[in-house]
């Protein structure tokens, strides 16, 4: 099974001024595409040749894992945006956030801190753990919470290629803008599945 770069649910310039079309050309068009190409080349003749991305993330290692997880992570990341954004979660997800973090504002602060303080490259995640509770976790490099039995709901890519062209080294500004384009309907659907 050949993996493909997924189509975006919006135009590459639709998230401006928060994420520029130029960043999309590199982040999505070059980095994400490179992970897809590398994965397709690496899985040939291996037990993962016909595996799903989720299986690759959970069971592989080395180059297959790194590229497979980056394909999964980036696809998950890009699909969660909406040009006009949604202010905050509603219904069951909002209740779960308030139960775990006391309020949406405290959750947003904790998540932003996790994204800002991750040393080096990686991801900040909102996940549902095996007990059905929400947690914020950090993963380095291609790390993915699926490997720990947790269900990802939201992620912030803090590899420099996600923000350097637009924000240079100002990761906190990138994180601030990240919240302006989140499609909470997508996150709620992930939570309910």
- Digit-coded pLDDT (tens) for 94-136: 999 999 999 999 999 999 999 999 999 999 999 999 999 999 9
Q: Widest CA span of the chain, in angstroms?
A: 50
Domain 21-79 top-level CATH class: mainly alpha
User: What is the pLDDT, as a whole number, of residue 121?
Assistant: 94
DSSP symbols for 11-77: -TTTTTTTS-HHHHHHIIIIIIHHHHHHHHHHHTTSTTTT--HHHHHHH--HHHHHHHHHHHHHHHH
Spatial separation of the C-alpha atoms in residues 171 and 117, rounded to whole Å: 10
Best CATH choice for the domain 91-192 from the list 3.30.70.100, 3.55.40.20, 3.80.10.10, 1.20.1260.10? 3.55.40.20
169: confidence class by pLDDT, cuts 50, 70, 90: confident
User: What is the pLDDT, as a whole number, of residue 38?
Assistant: 97
Spatial separation of the C-alpha atoms in residues 17 and 191, rounded to whole Å: 28
């Amino acid at each position: 099974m050949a993996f493909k770069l997924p189509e975006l649910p919006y135009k590459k310039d639709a998230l401006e001024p928060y994420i520029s079309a130029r960043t999309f050309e590199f982040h999505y068009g070059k980095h994400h595409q490179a992970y897809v190409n590398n994965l397709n080349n690496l899985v040939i003749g291996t037990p993962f040749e016909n595996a799903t991305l989720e299986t690759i993330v959970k069971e592989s290692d080395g180059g297959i894992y790194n590229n497979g997880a980056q394909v999964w992570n980036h696809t998950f990341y890009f699909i969660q945006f909406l040009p006009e954004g949604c202010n905050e979660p509603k219904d069951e997800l909002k209740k779960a956030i308030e139960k775990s973090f006391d309020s949406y504002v405290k959750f947003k602060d904790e998540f932003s801190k996790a994204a800002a303080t991750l040393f080096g490259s990686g991801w900040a995640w909102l996940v549902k753990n095996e007990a059905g509770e929400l947690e914020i976790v950090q993963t380095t490099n291609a790390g993915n919470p699926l490997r720990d039995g947790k269900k990802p709901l939201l992620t912030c890519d803090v590899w420099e290629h996600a923000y350097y062209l637009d924000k240079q080294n100002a990761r906190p500004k990138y994180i601030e803008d990240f919240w302006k384009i989140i499609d909470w309907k997508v996150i709620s659907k992930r939570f309910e599945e």
